[in-house]
């Protein structure tokens, strides 16, 4: 595929960083979600959408799930460890049936600096903590809960260029 766009939406930069690495490796056009419109999508053989994960929602995904795209790849960037996280619910929540089967999805790990979070995001994190890890016993905690607990309040980054390799290989194999 020759004509590729990488579209991304990021609040704190980790998704942007992955999108930049992917666009560079694939010699693709890099577009921020707010600069992309439905009429842009069909100009490309392949659109790769990357969005930060916020309360299980993939940022900016509406553009590519609600409008026609020739071929679509989605990557999410979250704090949870993709090696231990079950993304079934996230995929169901973000990608409609029919499109799910046709879309290749990758999950990458970002990071967070609590000191830099906006006030609403800090509030959301406190609420998520109250509703999940604070309510459960140690035995009830999932791998995602444990990662959340261990990183809460800190400045932790897992962003790693090497983890884009499976996505790059997949695209080169198309």
Ligand X SMILES: Cc1cc2nc3c(=O)[nH]c(=O)nc-3n(C[C@H](O)[C@H](O)[C@H](O)COP(=O)(O)O)c2cc1C
> Which residues of this chain interact with ligand X, rule CB under 6 A?
10-15, 52-56, 77-80, 110-112, 117, 121, 124-125
Residue 171 CB, nearest approach to ligand X (Å):
21
Q: Which residue is nearest to ligand X (CB)?
A: 110
Decide whether 46 or 78 has the Cβ nearer to ligand X. Answer: 78
What Å distances lie between residue 130 and 23, 112, 121, 134, CA to CA? 38, 19, 14, 5
**Distant-in-sequence, close-in-space partners of 159: CB < 8 Å, separation ≥ 6:** 14, 17, 18, 108, 109, 110, 111
Residue 98 CB, nearest approach to ligand X (Å):
24
**Residue position matching structure tokens 């998520």:** 128
Residue 10 CB, nearest approach to ligand X (Å):
3
Residue 135 CB, nearest approach to ligand X (Å):
16
Decide whether 45 or 152 has the Cβ nearer to ligand X. Answer: 152
Decide whether 77 or 171 has the Cβ nearer to ligand X. Answer: 77
Decide whether 24 or 160 has the Cβ nearer to ligand X. Answer: 160
Sequential DSSP letters for 17-83: HHHHHHHHHHTPEEEEGGG--HHHHTT-SEEEEEEEEETTEETTTHHHHHS--SSEEEEEEESS-TT
């Amino acid at each position: 595929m020759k004509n590729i766009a990488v579209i991304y939406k990021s609040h704190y930069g980790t998704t942007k960083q992955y999108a930049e690495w992917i666009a560079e490796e694939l010699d693709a056009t890099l577009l921020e979600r707010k600069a992309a419109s439905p009429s842009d999508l069909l100009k490309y053989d392949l659109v790769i959408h990357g969005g930060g994960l916020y309360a299980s929602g993939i940022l900016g995904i509406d553009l590519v799930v609600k409008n026609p795209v020739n071929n679509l790849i989605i990557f999410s960037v979250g704090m949870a460890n993709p090696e231990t996280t079950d993304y079934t619910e996230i995929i169901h929540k973000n990608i409609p049936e029919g499109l799910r089967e046709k879309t290749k999805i990758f999950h990458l790990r970002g990071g967070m600096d609590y000191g830099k979070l906006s006030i609403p995001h800090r509030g959301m994190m406190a609420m998520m903590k109250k509703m999940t890890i604070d309510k459960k016993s140690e035995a009830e905690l999932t791998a995602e809960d444990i990662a959340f607990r261990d990183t809460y309040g800190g400045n932790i980054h897992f962003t790693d260029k090497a983890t884009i390799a499976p996505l790059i290989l997949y695209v080169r194999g198309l």
